[in-house]
Structure 1
């Protein structure tokens, strides 16, 4: 997914994404930031920040003597983040619309990227670019989905939309770059190959019970919205029915958002 596509999909998903903030994104953002441990006075980049689930707790942690640059391509999600940040009065937090792969801020004490690296056109090159924005000794923190959880939903959503979008059925079915970092060992190895030192990896189990309507709003508030973008209402209804039927056949009544958080240090 290129930056323009990602920006369009997630801006269109703004309403449904926001409905999931309190239930999913904010708790996961707190977990990630708690493990990355931004300190008072530090300068932080939150790459692919979305609506600020991890950027806002980072800004509270660094305090008024610190600064957080929260960067994303999706203006709709940034607007949600700005609204919440204004209510909390955290002037040390800036929400900025830009492609993080061309962002030239810093140097930063901490760069954190929650559920974003696997959207980069080249995951290795994109991560290396972000690491290059760190000061020597600075920390790079990445969160990704544990195998067997969130990523397993994408093929189900794709199959539900494919009868309306034949190009989805013809697209390659490889699991994508997320499969390279979907276990603690894989994430540790990947961060090490990027030249980071002192790598630590943490597994956070996180699940949510779901009703059928929850599943559909989750699809519409995620990257899977790209599967149904632009479809007329009758086609959307058919996709929804196929999606929910497939989940029911699979016996899914729980969203497994279990997460792996990896942190490494740029060499001093």
Structure 2
């Protein structure tokens, strides 16, 4: 497999594995930031929206509510288990204008200018060539349409993130990541540079510092189990998994919050 295929396979495997904890209440930030992204877009009734890397619907669900029954939202993700979770929520809410699909955002096949708005929340950085991916999204946008890309800010999930990788290093140093992919665009300057390389000269970019409260170190572990960290945890045998969990949580005594800073970008075509 080439680099792109490997990246897609890893992302799909990690988030399919994480699906059982993805919607746990301790990870409510997925939906909070998804809704905030939609609010920044100012969607109007009747508009057509494409949401890629949609997860279980953190942005797709509020987008469908915003465009109303005369609008349409197509929500796409590589992880079929997350897509199934989102589709179940859409049915529960009676959102007949929301269509969840398993698919690759780089190979959807829509013609140019198909949508009034495109959304990508916490997903663009999983693609090795973010510029090419952004160009593809921009291509499908109608003149006057809006593209929203939301990414993580600096120091994501610290101090728990550092404690997690220290625990992994002590048990399986071969699994330690040299970098987290979102670090490439974790600042307004980095995100603006990437958009510029994709041919998007103007964008409203807002950095929002924040933290996510946890009641105990065990809450952090539930976050890890319902996120991309699961891809690493899935490679551990049962005894190693237990030791990593114990080492990770032992380093977080007294921790009451993890960092969840976000960078929002909205560009009009």
Fold shared, TM-score > 0.5 on shorter chain = yes
Q: 1:122 to 1:21 in 2, by over 3 A?
A: farther
The farther-off stretch of 218-227 and 120-129 is: 120-129
Asked if 1:257 is matched to 2:264, the reply is: no
For residue 13 of structure 1, give the secondary structure of its aligned residue in structure 2. Answer: helix
Asked if 1:56 is matched to 2:44, the reply is: no
- Cross-structure match for 1:2: 7
Asked if 1:180 is matched to 2:187, the reply is: no
- Cross-structure match for 1:11: 16
The farther-off stretch of 202-211 and 53-62 is: 202-211
CA distance in 2, matches of 1:226, 1:3: 12
> TM-score scaled to structure 1, two decimals?
0.89
- Cross-structure match for 1:37: 42
- Cross-structure match for 2:244: 239
> TM-score scaled to structure 2, two decimals?
0.89
Task: Compute the displacement of 1:177 (Å).
Answer: 4.3
The answer for unaligned runs of 5 or more in structure 2 is 1-5
8 Å CA contact retained: 1:140, 1:265: yes
Q: 1:151 to 1:137 in 2, by over 3 A?
A: farther
- Cross-structure match for 2:164: 157
The farther-off stretch of 208-217 and 177-186 is: 177-186
- Cross-structure match for 1:122: 129
Q: 1:233 to 1:8 in 2, by over 3 A?
A: same
Which residue of the other structure, out of 214, 220, 228, is the alignment partner of 2:225?
220
- Cross-structure match for 2:146: 139
CA distance in 2, matches of 1:135, 1:241: 51
8 Å CA contact retained: 1:39, 1:61: yes
Deviations 1:4-25 (A, max 9, x none): 2211211111121110477221
- Cross-structure match for 1:189: 193
CA RMSD after TM alignment: 2.1
8 Å CA contact retained: 2:213, 2:256: yes
The farther-off stretch of 255-264 and 15-24 is: 15-24
- Cross-structure match for 1:203: 207
Q: 1:179 to 1:135 in 2, by over 3 A?
A: same
